[in-house]
Every structure is written in C-alpha cells, then in structure tokens.
Chains A and B, each alone.
Chain A
C-alpha cells in the first residue's frame, strides 16, 4: 500500500471533489481516497501491485480535471 498526494486543478465546487472520490473508489486496488476542494488536493491510498499511479491519474483526467503529481 502506498499513499500519494496529487494536486488537482479545475475543481470549481465541492461536488467535483466528490466526483473524483467516487470515480477512484470504483477502481480495483484503491483503498481510500480523500479529495479536498479547499486545498485542491487528492490523497489516495492504493495497492501498487494492483493499480499504477498512472492509471489513477488517467481516471482523474477522464473525469475532467488536471493532475499535477507531487
């Protein structure tokens, strides 16, 4: 399990943060997600054997937001 902090751009309300959480939680291998609209940050915990960092970033991008890997 590793924990990652991703900087997100393009969220315009707290619903966007919820959307990212919902989409990532559906992925196999993702343990927990917490996205903050105020801080524009997504904290995600995942099993790197099951899912790659890139796949997570791609999912967020597909939802419609820009990701900056910290």
Chain B
C-alpha cells in the first residue's frame, strides 16, 4: 500500500503470521504503517488483507470498528472516565472480562481509574483491553516506550510471553533492538517510508543493509578507504580485512566478534585498537563494553576478570576474517 506523506511516500508490502517488529528512525512512517492497517488512515492505493478477508483495496474499505484489531497506543489511550474494568470491557461485546483482568494481574484494580495506575499497570490494562476484542491482528505502537527503564525489562518479557500465547499476528513498533528481538521473530526496518530490510534479528546484526540498521542493531561500523587488504579509517589508523577491496568501504564487525584485552596480543591476524573504556552496560547474560566508539560484547566473567571500569586503558581486537566489508557507494 502507498500513502503520500509530507516528505515522502509510504510504500510498504508485508506479509506476516507471527510477530513482526517494525523499527526505523523517528518519522520513518512506523506509526503510520500501523494506522494504515487499522484503517485510521486511508492509503492512497494498495491492499490490506487479514485472515483471508479483504480490509482495503478494490473498492473495499472496511471501517475501523469492523476490522478485528487490537491496537495498543503509544501512551495507551485509556479512557480516563472509565474504571479499569470499564476500559477492558469496552470492546468485549458483553463477554466477562474477569479472566483477562486476572491474567494481566490487574483484577484488584478493577474499579480504579487510569490516572491512579502506574505506567506498567496502564500498559497491562491497555493490552488486556486490546485482547478483550479477540483481535485477528495486534498492532502495538511502541508498547514499552512510556515505561521507565526499570520496569521495561520485566514488562517486555511479559509482553513477549503474551504475544507467543495469543498466536495472533502482531506488528510491534519499537525503537530498541533488544526489544525488537525479544518480542519478535522477524524485524522489518523502515526508512523514509520504505522497508529497507526484513529478516531475523541476528541477520540485522550480521549483515545490516544500511548504516541505520547497523547503528540500531549495535553492529560496529568503521568507514574508511580500502586499498587491497588495508583500510585507512576515516577516524585515523588502519585495519586489515580478509578479502581485498578498493575505494570507500564500511567495515562491519558484530559486537560478539570483538574481544577486549589489557595488552595487544601478538597475532598478526588480529586488528587492534587501543582506547579507554567509555561505558560498561550489562545486557542479560552478556556485557556490552564501549571502547573508543567500538562496542564489544563479552561475558560477565571476562568483564570481572579485566576489571573494566570507565576510563581504563584497554585494547579491542578482532580477526580480519570476522569483519564484513561493504562498499559505501552502494550502502
């Protein structure tokens, strides 16, 4: 389907059965994509089909209220004048919503008003409300962005579990890579209204199609000019690559291919870049260490052993064979 916007035309073709994360820079058209599917915005042309039923295209335009969708709005859009129970029951067609309230752990809040709830509670009420409609398609617009970082992790796990249990196709707009891969099987990347990459989360990390994808996924991208197996980096210094190349290139190295050491190892197959530790971020069972703008992912044990603290002098290293080189004129 297509929709002309102020700066560009949204043009997307997608087919999904499981959970699909939609990522992209702000203003890329992610929320608009959801609104098009919901029927809140009418595409200029194209087709929308769900569960074998045509929602849009060929003279058909099913109104929003007749598409069976569960839409989670960015700030949840709970009805302020209704209780938790009233909110969840709104789209339930008279079905008993008590089991849903129980499932989402908000049964004890059933008569509370939205303004009395915490961010995490609001999110669960909004999700319960969307599911009470028994949707055929779930559209979640940045479901975790309104939460504080402390609750985000646990709510993300809950949400992933719910999405797997419901077995309803879902599109989740998100702006964090960890969120995208923890919630979804596949990730679609939208830039300026176009889907530039669609694949599993790991693929995005290993072979990002654009600099945005690389940055989003946390892939290290060093730009420079290649002459044979040497690349003179724009930031200064040079690195070795496995296959000869020429001209402007980007060297992509996944964070887990990079090791951190206190001294350079005596190995000519390795590229070394010395620098100071900028940040140390625990990430599940891994630790992300940022050294001189390069992100390495190491085990908590190594981080402990190296006593990595911001400011420490270390060396990051990777094998020339583990880096991928893309021509920047194409990327």
A associates with B: no
